[in-house]
Chains A and B, each alone.
Chain A
Amino acid sequence: MMQTVPIALENCAKTFADGTRALEAVNLEIAAGETVVLLGPSGCGKTTTLRLIAGLEQPDAGGRVRFGADDVTALPIEKRNVGMVFQSYALFPNMTVAENIAYGLRLRRQSAAEQRARVGEMLALMRIERLAERSIDQLSGGQRQRVALARALAVQPRVLLLDEPLTALDAKLRDTLRFEIDSLLRELGITAIYVTHDQAEAMALGDRIVVMDHGRIAQVGAPREIYQQPASRYVAEFIGTMNRLSGHADGEVFRCAGGYVAWPALPAGAQEILFRPEDTRIAADGEAATLHGTVGAAFFCGNHVRLFVEVGEAQPLVLETPARREYRHGEPVALAIETHGLMVL
């Protein structure tokens, strides 16, 4: 059974030797058994946060890393008992698959029989028994990924750390493995921290998502919460697509270049309203539409059409509509927006 623990970062800032400030003082608590995804564009500090937890970086003075009741701040990675999966897998080319998986056990001085049993267990868990005696350079990307996971889990780590583990794979395989990792994490109940820049991956895997921006935590929350109630424009625009209208509030009506949007809850003085593409639709025939525009572009996507509608804003509004009819460039359209999807940030 995994000896899974809660993780806490207290006041963890990171300044590199060259003076680069990678992380502002961050506080984060992760419950035992929880899967937390660190999400953000490159350079946002997500990998640095992961490496602080791993013990590959030391926080600036004052920062603390706790695994359960233990303060592990001063411990190097090799003493923290973590399992880590690297973006480039970091499998040892001088060892076979089985030897890679057994390496951590060997360092823990387990008997040969124990090692063999545990390696067998891991190979079975990842369904790669047939690869046991292969050398690393005979493996495909997906296979390497499984070996890396098996190796990290073999030592029964206190926490599993995954640094963009799927980035090097092609889209289809990424989907399959995402599903597998999800099932695996749930089955094992291990505390897992997963770094990615891919929001779809984050939504699928995370119990909670930590959105990061320029070395700060922008928002922490369940995927649904992050999507539906983004704490800032940064989060709103990083997660999914966001439509935006600029104009001014006039009582319960927001006036803009393409017409107006009625919203009883409209805050006074709002200069901008935001809403998702799925809350935007083409007005039904005979519906009293208040917002008008012209089709800027229409991308046929098979089951739907992705429409870009010019309404006199810097950015066209985006919406998806059933592919029942064709839309031509320049064609006038009337839009309706679901009131419950409107927000101001």
Chain B
Amino acid sequence: MNRVSFLIKTAIRDSRKDRGKLIMFMSSIILGIAALVAINSFNDNLVRDIDNQAKSLLGADLVVSGNRPASEAVRAAFDSLPGEKATEVELFSMAYFGSADETQFVKIKAFEGNFPFYGEILTDPEDAAGRFRSGPYALVDEGLMIQMGLSPGDPVKLGESIFEIIGQLKNDIGAAGISSSFAPPVYISSQYLEETNLVQPGSLVDYAYYAKLPEDIDPDLWEESHRAEFRNDNMRISTVEEEKEDLNEAFDALNNFLNLVALVSLLLGCLGVASSVFIYIKNKISSIAVFRCLGMKGRDAFFIYLFQIFVLGAVSVIAGIILGSAIQVFLPMIMSDLLPFEVSTSMSWGAILEGFIIGIVITVLFSLLPLVSVRKISPLRTLRTGFETEREKGDPLKWAIHALIFTTILTFLWVLTGSLKDASIFASGLLASFLGLYLAARLLMWAIRRFFPVKWSFVFRQGLSNLYRPNNQTRTLLVSIGLGTAVLTTLFIIQGLLLENVSGMDAGNQPNMILYGIERDQAEELARITDSFDMPIIQQLPIVTMDLEAWKGRSKKEWLADTTANIRRWAATREARVTYRDYVDANEELVEGTFVGTRKSPGDSIFISLGEDYARGLDVGIGDEITWNVQGLRMKTYVSSLRSIEFRNMQARFFIVFPTGVLENAPQFQVLVTKSPDIATTAAYRKTVVKAFPNVSVVDLASILSSLNEILDKVSYVIKFMAAFSILTGLIVLISSLLLSKFQRIRESVLLRTIGASRKQILSINATEYFLIGALSAATGILISLLGSWLLARFQLELDFSIRWLPILAVFFIVVSLTTLIGVLNSRDVIRKSPLEVLRNV
């Protein structure tokens, strides 16, 4: 008989009665691969859809945009392009909905021309998209209309004009889903924008010029030839190709996150594979010894079990691929709030192939560790069951497999993140977590032996000693349960931190409301209104907008053209919003120079104070000269001081502070910062202000917080859904390890039953063992997650670190309960059946 066919036949025969024991092994692979395939399929579809839909997302072939109207030169260049054109003016303002008597901070988009050229504005009723440009009509965000109970025909007041709402806006061209949470969009025709009186000097307005080009014009070539010139005018050119790149870049983070989730599931799956195969082989040792005794070579025995694992692994990988392909259909629905367009759900053969290859590699790789021991199982075990081969300990092949596993994970991460550094950090973190958990297990085992409570009751002593006796599962369980707990807790902690850092801004006497766009003649009345609500005026400052023209003897153009200059583009090109005052604010600290508060006489030099980051961005220091263009008037100034600025609470901050006695007569608007005692006052105050001064925008922290909460809820929903893969795989690993450990414990439990232990005693012994494993795993996992979250918060997210104990305690409680419960359920065979019945089967 052919040797290989004999080995395969033996592998099949041998596995016949034991396949059930590998169900958990299969489940681990199925879940891990399902996560990977689902996520990769989703990512593939996302990339393909970005490719297909970028044009309709941009709405045009080319867009020129900036935060001020295009200069004559820019406009001339743009107008020289052939094809259809359109413009859009976008600004943020308050809207007053008379029928609901409610106000809302909104994003107004005013269109001129037949924009979008590609894709469409979706409205209800459908014809509203075509009609809103024909009169003083508005399209209002669908969510906002539902929230305020608005319907077509209702009025909306924007600035000083009243518009009729003619439809619900179902999509916002060029915006990701989440941005509408901050300020829902309202579309109007640009011919009615001026009447609103919202566009004033200093208003935060964005301008976009759209072009639909004939096919013979390459937008990217045009962009390339005009980029530098437009950039000097603070205008940006976007093309469909750039939009694709931007979108791909924007979704890279999501993509990476999802891939990491898949990786964690996969790694937990690997853990499941290794632990299941380990126990499976342990249960096969006597059979292998007999095979060896009867003359089977070590490598043949190894092949038999490798074949079993490989076949079941391959079946599981295929099942995982099918499940993953099914799940990916639901991912776009779950993520719809985060996506600017619908993602298709077609099968991705690339993802399937990748899943198959990774699945097989991982199955074989992680099975190899326990499988190589098969080669070394001595036939002498047939005579002496306790015989251990000492040679096993120094098996160089095992070290090689360990190294191979680490290298594979590192390579996989490298491919995933595109950065060897990031991959190394993540892999090292993972390795450190594994080691931490492993060491915790060793420490526990050592501590129990060393400080064994000899005077405790028999039941507790038995449960405790199970943790270090031969065939214990302490290390495997601690690592698998601990890792799952660490992943889950980290998610909770980070989510909590994000919310807490924002809500902390409202604490104590910190301001929680900011009003901007106040005209000079409105300031006094607004102060009176604020006072009438018994609210303090924490800040009331003028803002003058100006352009940076030259510094240190070189014009801005020269600076920007000099590629060796040590300056930041954002600092050089931004429109400067300047205030003037004669004091250093409480949120600021003078770090260098002297703060000059007042210019004594008109002929004196003007000494200004800069934020240190801004000064660094311009590469200027104390005494350097800066020339500004204040709405047509040139003004030479000197840097007299640098300030560090605290950005933690809600106040107006200024990189550039002029002394009093310079800008008082320049065109300006004001900003007012106050604190509202409660939500009701906020609503009433906001309504009064908007009714009296429709041009004034009121931003309150409560609505920012609620928007942020909404966004975080959406994001955390996605995170939780994806983390469910990890949790489920972790659970499978948990059940798998615990169920298989049953085979280690059952004989002892039966013997105890035989010699008179009661059901309660058996249950208590098992409960003690698994409670301790659960508690230590959860505690170590939580510790690791605390450390990981702290590192993330400190170095990656730059958040203040604090801990919300309630969700952590909940995780601890759930993990411990689940571990104990499953552990106790393991004993049900021993308890339900008679000892004789069980003894015959073990």
On whether the two chains bind one another, the answer is no
Chain A residues proximal to chain B, CB less than 8 Å: none
